[in-house]
Amino acid sequence: MSLAVSTAARSRSRLRFDVRSWDRVTWMVIGITAIALATRVIGLGARALHHDESLHLMYGWYFFEGRGYEHNPLMHGPLQFHLIAAFFKLFGDSEFTGRLPHALAGTALVASPLLFRRWLNGPSIVLASVFLLLSPSIMYYSRFARNEPFVGLFLVVMVGAMLHYRRDGRPRWLVIYSAMLALQFAAKETAYLIAAILLLYQNAWLAHDLFWQPRRERLEGATLFQQARGSLVLTPVAWLIAVGWPFLGRLRSRYGWYRRPRSADMLVVTATLVLPLLSAAVEIPVMVLGHDVDDAMRRDLATIVVPITLVVAAAVGAAWQPRWWIWCVAAYLLVLVPLYTTWGTHPTGIAGAFWTSLDYWIDQQEVRRGTQPWFYYFWLVPLYESLVLIPGLIGGLWLTVVRRDWFAALGVFWFLSMFAALSYAGEKMPWLTFHLALPLCFLAAYVIGRVVPRAAAAVRRGRGSTLQWASASAATTFLLLLGVLAVRVDWNLNRVNPDTPVEPLIYVQTSPRLLPIADDIRAALREGTANRVVIHTDQSLTWPWAWYLRGLNVTYIDKDQINTETLKPDDIVITTRGFVSGRPDVRNMYQAPVQYPHRWWFPEAGYRATTLSGLFDELKSGELIDEWTNFLVHRGDVERIGSLQAEVYFPKNATVNSRDTGFSD
């Protein structure tokens, strides 16, 4: 019996936690998840810490050491630091344990398609797990101490809870949804984009429900254009109808809205929980009107706006469904408040949730860190996610437009809206491709899962023309080749060059050459041949040295102090190249320096200079195809990557093994 047939009868049954009730699909997903766990944790601590990772682990270590934690929007939400500190407490402090929460979240994400058994058939569930396992963006950043795996996992659970509530209307799904929404905001500020996307979808879903509720018998026969046209009429005001539902009895009676759609419930829950967290958005119209928003004005605006949004949200929620809303708010606040206030030890941290996070990132839009071009994700996503991009986007659009498939429409909307939001945002970074790969994995699996059982049935019946057989064979071969390419990319990213930026997905990375030097420094301090480490803070040299030398005798000096600070012969001096070598009196106190690239980055000059006309010229000449083919086969050239050069001066009697292992240049 085929996989599709054997799971058809079970695909609508609820997932149970009784092992005896698990079917073949469940066991296959568990097996794939076990493989995912291995790919996420093996060698997890081997790669040098990225600059941002060292910040996250260092402040998590401070928390673990008992120095407390106070939310700072520069380093995103508080959840990550609580988890890192907890894992340090349980398993000890190391690069491995610091990354372990992220790896486990990335592993759980591979099992998450089981949440969608009511909408995905057996092949689709298994394929979604495989795609989540193989996605280069998802695998690489599941082995990275950033918030992306948490955000992705919480979002998938939110979407699952939303669809389950849409189906059965049980309030528990709203409570789960609310808790996941709070975790989103406690994880990272991408929660604002996710909340906006969810509200747009829920509003469109509500407009569709309202328009067709009194016309249900005509819905099945309506064309896609007719369905969209009818829904668009109500889209601008659907959210107002949801908010004012208890007070619009006469209007509802007039239009035949006798039953409140569940989409209205979802919209009210999302809007009332998120509204107070959007208070800082009031700065945008103030700035548009030409006013400078200084600290005093921020305090005044926060004092006025936050209470107003809280009162409005409470009023709407109480009018909607008081008992349900209280449960949702309780789940929401029981997550949000302890994390932002560090369990009550820093009560002012709650301002991070209701004001300072959004306030900070509104300002950062003008900074545009990374300074990537507008087409950044048009280039990066096809480069790494072709396995799911091609069947997911093409097949998803076909199912949406031709088959009027609502689940495919959800996947297409999820991907395109996230793509547009991240492309518009001022800060474009490679780790954000995680959020673009995620919907594509589900969408591609859904598309293929719809096609494969029908093709298998046609084969069993002996149907299909030669052209159809040839097309199916070519498509299967093409997907297998893309799968092999994805595995090869995963291997290069996580095993061959995990901290050497020959891949644009790696971007800027700490050089692996720092690690043996760190071993030498710790050995010299331990053996007594050195007494102190002096770090020159120029060019952010502090990071990740602060992590690797935590708990040791370290002094930090700036670019002016290095010319005046009294250095001693038993110091170890870490500086950018050239600052000490220009002072013979200092240089002669130490051994010849160990020189190394502190951090290095993927060469970006080529794609940054691309223009539309130049792109068309390269396509026409075939140069672009040659460049892509060469990169796919050989990846980048280590000789071309840029770097920040640094050097370490050891005392004359210290043993320096890193000098003899190829780590000097």
State the DSSP code for 279.
G
Give percent of the chain above pLDDT 70: 88
**310 or 371, which is more confident?**
310
Mean pLDDT, the chain, rounded, equals: 88
Query: What pLDDT, on a 0 to 100 scale, did the predictor assign at position 586?
Result: 79
User: How distant is the alpha carbon of residue 437 from its chain centre?
Assistant: 10
User: What are the start-end ranges of the H helices in 135-248?
Assistant: 136-142, 148-168, 171-187, 190-212, 216-219, 224-234, 238-243
CA distance 163 to 151: 18
Neighbour-count burial for 115-146, b at 16+ CB within 10 Å, e otherwise: bbbebbbbbbbbbbbbbbbbbbbbbbbbbbbb
> Is beta strand 532-536 parallel, antiparallel or unpaired with respect to 571-576?
parallel
- Res 94 pLDDT > 50: yes
Count CB neighbours of 469 within 10 A.
13
- Res 410 pLDDT > 60: yes
CA distance 365 to 426: 5
pLDDT tier at 212, thresholds 50, 70, 90: confident
Task: Spell out the domain ranges in the chain.
Answer: 170-214+256-366, 511-602+641-660
Helix or strand (DSSP H, E) at 527: helix 514-527
> Listing from the earlier edge strand, what are the strands of the sheet with 508-510?
508-510, 594-601, 642-649, 571-576, 532-536, 554-557
> For the chain, what is the largest distance between any 2 Cα atoms, rounded to a whole number of angstroms?
91
Q: Which of these ranges, 208-212, 325-329, 558-562, has the smallest mean pLDDT? A: 558-562
The angle at the Cα of 49, spanning 44 to 53, to the nearest 5 degrees, equals: 100
DSSP assignment string, 393-437 = IIHHHHHHHTS--HHHHHHHHHHHHHHHHHHHSS---GGGHHHHH
The answer to whether 490 and 538 have CB atoms below 8 angstroms apart is: no
Q: What is the 3-state secondary structure (H, E, C) of 469-505?
A: HHHHHHHHHHHHHHHHHHHHHHHHHHHHCCCCCCCCC
The first and second tokens of residue 525, run together, are 């301090």
- Res 206 pLDDT > 60: yes
pLDDT tier at 394, thresholds 50, 70, 90: very high
- Res 467 pLDDT > 70: no
> Which residues face 555 on adjacent strands?
534
Query: What pLDDT, on a 0 to 100 scale, did the predictor assign at position 606?
Result: 66
CA distance 146 to 192: 17
Global pTM value: 0.91
Tell me which long-range contacts 634-637 makes (C-beta under 8 A, separation of at least 24): 635/492, 635/497, 635/502, 635/503, 636/501, 636/502, 636/503, 636/504, 636/602, 636/603, 637/502
CA distance 322 to 110: 36
SS3 of 651, please? strand
Of 57, 58, 47, the closest CA to residue 515 belongs to: 47
Q: What is the pLDDT of residues 490-544, one digit of tens each?
A: 999 999 889 999 989 998 999 999 999 999 999 999 999 999 999 999 889 999 9
The answer to whether 248 and 276 have CB atoms below 8 angstroms apart is: no
Q: What is the pLDDT of residues 14-40, one digit of tens each?
A: 444 455 557 899 999 999 999 999 999
Give percent of the chain above pLDDT 90: 66
